Structure 1
Amino acid sequence: MSDSNTTDFTNPSTFILLGIPGLEAAHVWISIPFSAMYAIAVLGNFTILFIVITELSLHGPMYYFLCMLAVSDLVLCTSILPKMLSIFWFNSSEIDFSACLTQMYFIHCFSVTGSGILVAMAFDRYVAICDPLRHSTILANPVVAKIGLAVVLRGGMLILPLLFLARQWPYCRTNIIPHTYCEHMAVVKLACTDIRVSSYYSLSVAILVTGLDVFFITVSYTQILRAIFSLPTKDARLKTFQTCVSHLCVILVSYIPPLFSFLTHRYGHNVPQHLHILIANMYLLGPPMLNPVIYGVSTKQIRERLLRLFTHKRT
C-alpha cells in the first residue's frame, strides 16, 4: 500500500473501494448471485416498462407509478453494480473523487425517490378503493405527472446538502473506503474535521423521510382495510384486497431490509463488518429484483399481457 493512502494528504483525487473486507478471496463467488440479481432486476423492470407502454389498458395511475418505481429501481441498482463487479472481477478498486460523490448522490437520491413513489402508490390504492367514483378525477394524468415530479424533486433536494457537505470536507487521513460503493457515512468518516453536521443531517433525513412515508402508507392502508371490511360479501372483500397484495409485498420488501441494516449498523456492534456490507448491498439490489417479480406474479393484467406476449412469440 502506498504511503499516500496512510499519511496526511488533502482532498485525494481518488478513493479506494475495498469491496468486502475479509472476504476478498470469495469476491468472484459473491459476484455470481449479485450479477444474477442485477440481471433479473434489469430484465424484470424493462419488461414492466415495455408492457405498460405497449398495453393501452394499463395506461392508468397505478401503472404509471409502477413505471416510475421501475425506473427508480433501475437507476439505483445500476449506480452500484458495475463498479462493484469491476472490484470483484478485475480488482479495479479506484474511483475518482467526483465519481464517488456522484454515485453517493444517486444511491441516496433514488432511495428517497423510491420511498416517495410507494407513498404515491398507496394513495392511488386509497382513492381507488375508498373513493372509486372520483379516482379518475383526483388522479388525472396531469396530477400523476405532478406527483411524480414532486417525488423526484424531494429526493434530489433533500440529498443535495449531503453532496455539498461531503465535497467541502478536507480529507487528510486515508482514501480507503471499506465498502463496495460510496455510501455517505463511509465517505465522510474519512474527513479530518468535525462531520457532525453531515451525520445529524443524514440521520434526520433518513428518520424523517422513512417515518413520514411509513406513516402516510399506514394511514392509507388503515382506511383501505376499513373500507374492505365494510364490504357486504366475503368475495367482494377478497377481490378488493387482492388489488393491494402486490403493493403491500413491495412495501415490506422495500422497508424491512433497510430497517434491519440500520438496526444492525447502530446496535449490532458484534456483527462482523463483512456482514454489514453484504446486507447493505442486498437491500439495494433486492427490491429492484423482487418488485417486478411481485407485480408480474400478483397483478392479473400484467400476468395476462406476459402470457400473450410469450404465446404470440411461440406461434
Structure 2
Amino acid sequence: MSTLNSTTMYPAIFILVGIPGLEDLHYWIAIPFCVFFIFALLGNSAILTIITTTVSLHESMFIFLSMLALNDVFLCTSVVLKMLGIFWFNFGEIYMDACLAQMFFIHSFTSIESGILLAMAFDRYVAICNPLRYTSILTSNLIVKIGLILLVRATVLVAPCLFLIKRFSFYTTNVISHSYCEHMAVVKLAQADIRINSAYGLFVAFSILGVDVILISLSYVMIFRAVFSLPSKEARLKAFNTCTPHICVFLMFYALALFSFLSHRYGKNIPSYIHIILSDLYLLLPPSLNPMVYGVKTKQIRERALMLIFSRKRVCSEN
C-alpha cells in the first residue's frame, strides 16, 4: 500500500479506509454487504427477466419498474465490488480518476433512482386520478422521453462536481475516511476553500432529491384524496394496494438518503462509523429490498414468478 501522506499535491492515488474504527470487523461486515449485493443482482435480474419476457407486463408501471431494477444493478455494482476489495483484501488504493468516475456513477445512479421513483408516483397518480386517460397519457413516447430526461438531468448536474474537484491542487491527505468515493468525503480533504463545492452539492441535492420528494409527496396527497372519495371499500383497498410498494420504497430510499446527506454536513456528534455504515446501507438496502417489496406486493409479478418456478420444477421432474 502507498505511503499515507499528511500533505500532498494533486494525488495520483487515494486510499479508502473502509469504516474507520471498525477495521478489525471489516471481514465480518463484508459478509452481509455481499449478501445484499447478491440479493440485489438476483432479485433485480429476476424482475427484469419477468417484465421483458411477459407481454402483458409491457405497460408504463412495469416499464418504470424495470428501469428501477436496471438502475439498481448498476448502482450496486459501482460501489460494492470495490467495497468488498477493501474489507476482505485490504485493496484500499484507487486512482484519482477512478475515484472521480466512481463518484460520478454513484451520484448519477442515485439521482436517476430518485427520478424513477417520481415517475412511478406520477404513473400511480394518473392510474388512480385519471384512469380513463391512463394509456393515452403514459404513451411509449412519453416513457422514453422521461428516461432520457432523467439521464440528462443526472449527468448535467453531477458532472460539474468532478470539475470543481479537479481544480484543487493541494490536499491535506490522500486518505478518504469512507468506503467509497463520496463527494463531500473527497472535498473535505482539499487544502483550499471548499465553500463553492459544498454550496453546489447542496444545490444538486435540493434540485434532485428535494424537488423529487416534494413532487412525490404532492402526488400521493392527490392520490389519497382520490382514494378516499371512492364509493366502495373494495375499490379503496385495491387502490391502496397498488400504491403500497411504491410508498415503502419511497420511504426507505429517501429516509436513508436524507440521513446520509445531512449527517455528512451537520452530524459532527455522530460517530463516523455509524455515518459510514448508514451511507453504505443507503446504497445497498434499497436495491436489495426493492425486488422483494415489488415481488410480494405486485400480484402480476408474483403470479408470473410462481408460474416460472413451477414450470421449471415440472420440466426438471419430467427429465
TM-score of the alignment, normalized to the shorter chain, above 0.5: yes
Deviations 1:54-111 (A, max 9, x none): 0100000011111111111111111111001111111111001100000000011111
Secondary structure of residue in 2 paired with 1:294: helix
Q: What's 1:146 paired with?
A: 145
Deviations 1:194-220 (A, max 9, x none): 111111000121123222111111111
Once residues 90 and 60 of structure 1 are traced to their aligned partners in structure 2, the CA distance between those partners, rounded to angstroms, is 44
Q: What's 1:247 paired with?
A: 246
Q: What's 1:10 paired with?
A: 9
Q: Quick check: 1:178 aligned with 2:143?
A: no
Alignment of 1:12-51 (within 5 A): 12-51=11-50
Structure 1 segments (4+ residues) deviating >4 Å: none
Alignment of 1:148-163 (within 5 A): 148-163=147-162
Secondary structure of residue in 1 paired with 2:14: strand
* 8 Å Cα contact 1:101-1:167 kept in structure 2: no
Q: What's 2:117 paired with?
A: 118
Q: CA deviation at 1:112?
A: 0.9
Q: What's 1:89 paired with?
A: 88
Once residues 211 and 187 of structure 1 are traced to their aligned partners in structure 2, the CA distance between those partners, rounded to angstroms, is 23
Q: What's 2:59 paired with?
A: 60
Once residues 165 and 265 of structure 1 are traced to their aligned partners in structure 2, the CA distance between those partners, rounded to angstroms, is 19
Residues 264-273 or 212-221, more deviating: 264-273
Once residues 298 and 7 of structure 1 are traced to their aligned partners in structure 2, the CA distance between those partners, rounded to angstroms, is 52
Q: Quick check: 1:197 aligned with 2:187?
A: no
Secondary structure of residue in 2 paired with 1:15: strand
Q: What's 1:300 paired with?
A: 299
Q: CA deviation at 1:9?
A: 2.9
Secondary structure of residue in 1 paired with 2:199: helix
Once residues 260 and 198 of structure 2 are traced to their aligned partners in structure 1, the CA distance between those partners, rounded to angstroms, is 17
Residues 29-38 or 184-193, more deviating: 184-193
Q: Quick check: 1:72 aligned with 2:71?
A: yes
Residues 48-57 or 267-276, more deviating: 267-276
Deviations 1:232-275 (A, max 9, x none): 11111111111111111110111111222334334432221111
Secondary structure of residue in 2 paired with 1:269: coil
Q: Quick check: 1:230 aligned with 2:229?
A: yes
Once residues 119 and 262 of structure 2 are traced to their aligned partners in structure 1, the CA distance between those partners, rounded to angstroms, is 26
Once residues 170 and 37 of structure 2 are traced to their aligned partners in structure 1, the CA distance between those partners, rounded to angstroms, is 33
Which residue identity is paired with 1:218? S
* 8 Å Cα contact 1:19-1:179 kept in structure 2: yes
Q: CA deviation at 1:293?
A: 0.7
Q: Go from structure 1 to structure 2 and tell me whether the alpha carbon gap of 1:7 and 1:225 turns closer, same or farther (over 3 Å shift).
A: closer
Q: CA deviation at 1:7?
A: 4.5
Q: Quick check: 1:102 aligned with 2:86?
A: no
Which residue identity is paired with 1:35? C
Once residues 199 and 260 of structure 1 are traced to their aligned partners in structure 2, the CA distance between those partners, rounded to angstroms, is 17
Q: Go from structure 1 to structure 2 and tell me whether the alpha carbon gap of 1:9 and 1:262 turns closer, same or farther (over 3 Å shift).
A: closer
* 8 Å Cα contact 2:184-2:264 kept in structure 1: no
Q: What's 1:215 paired with?
A: 214
Q: Quick check: 1:262 aligned with 2:261?
A: yes
Secondary structure of residue in 2 paired with 1:5: coil
Once residues 208 and 237 of structure 2 are traced to their aligned partners in structure 1, the CA distance between those partners, rounded to angstroms, is 32
Corresponding residue pairs, total? 314
Which residue identity is paired with 1:304? E
Residues 264-273 or 188-197, more deviating: 264-273
Once residues 31 and 39 of structure 2 are traced to their aligned partners in structure 1, the CA distance between those partners, rounded to angstroms, is 12
Q: Quick check: 1:280 aligned with 2:263?
A: no
* 8 Å Cα contact 2:36-2:284 kept in structure 1: yes
Once residues 167 and 266 of structure 1 are traced to their aligned partners in structure 2, the CA distance between those partners, rounded to angstroms, is 21
* 8 Å Cα contact 1:128-1:135 kept in structure 2: yes
Structure 2 residue runs of 5 or longer lacking an equivalent are 315-319
Q: CA deviation at 1:299?
A: 0.0
Once residues 223 and 266 of structure 1 are traced to their aligned partners in structure 2, the CA distance between those partners, rounded to angstroms, is 34
Once residues 219 and 82 of structure 2 are traced to their aligned partners in structure 1, the CA distance between those partners, rounded to angstroms, is 38
Secondary structure of residue in 2 paired with 1:16: strand
Once residues 208 and 151 of structure 1 are traced to their aligned partners in structure 2, the CA distance between those partners, rounded to angstroms, is 12
* TM-score of the aligned structures, taking structure 2 as reference length: 0.95
Once residues 167 and 130 of structure 2 are traced to their aligned partners in structure 1, the CA distance between those partners, rounded to angstroms, is 49
Q: What's 1:311 paired with?
A: 310
Which residue identity is paired with 1:157? V
CA RMSD of aligned residues (A): 1.3
Secondary structure of residue in 2 paired with 1:122: helix
Secondary structure of residue in 1 paired with 2:171: coil
Once residues 94 and 260 of structure 1 are traced to their aligned partners in structure 2, the CA distance between those partners, rounded to angstroms, is 27
Once residues 270 and 212 of structure 1 are traced to their aligned partners in structure 2, the CA distance between those partners, rounded to angstroms, is 28
